Amino acid sequence: MKDRSKFHYLDVSGAPEQLQAVMAIGANTSRRGVAPNELERLFDHMLPGRAVVREADGRPIVRGTRLYISLSHADGVSALAVAPFPVGIDVECVDPELYVLEFDPDLFGKQDFRALETCDATSRRDHFYQLWTAKEAHLKLYGRNLLFDPLPIVSGAPNTSTTWIARPAGRYCVGVSWSSSIASDRSLRPAWNALVDQPGPQQRMGARRPS
């Protein structure tokens, strides 16, 4: 992970080189996500002068480019993924008091829930967060949400990666998922930076961003 001011670039294992994921660290660790002005700086840093709109299926895309984005918030942080193909990201702040076996097996996925039940107590919580963020990120590829659309996603989903981030304010798990069929299309090159540099409308995005 590379530090650049308050932006922390994430190493997404196995992801195509065009996918960029970054986490912004907020000044107020008690709020969910970073403050609006800090979020503004994150978008300006990653997508200067770009407007974000939603496709018919709900997935956010950057107007004037073939770039897709996904945004997630947790206590004191926001995470953003950008790629020239559908992408999903989810960040969660680890609750050391969470009792994961209280979750509904039908919501979480019965196969994965059984795997959690067989884990030893010391690794169960970490395994839960890895699965949860991977599921949320995978669903975000399609503009869906685990809490309202409990698809039977199981562990080991392809093109999904999880990363642990330790900060003074807490420990975070970040899941990233991407579209395999589009990510393998070599016609998408030149890569991400070249796409960002294409001319586009100079429009501020502020409060109009997806949450």
Each residue of 118-135: pLDDT tens digit? 888 878 999 899 888 988
Each residue of 2-29: pLDDT tens digit? 434 488 899 898 888 889 999 998 888 8
> Which tokens belong to 194?
């070249």
For the chain, what is the mean pLDDT?
76
> Beta partners for 173?
92, 164
Residues 6+ apart with CB under 8 A from 158: 180
pLDDT beyond 50 at 40: yes
Q: Average pLDDT in the 85-106 region?
A: 88
Q: How far apart are CA 83 and CA 151, in angstroms?
A: 24
pLDDT value for 174: 95
Each residue of 181-204: pLDDT tens digit? 654 443 333 333 333 333 332 222
Task: Single out the residue of 44, 51, 49, 37 nearest to residue 22, CA to CA.
Answer: 44
pLDDT value for 168: 74
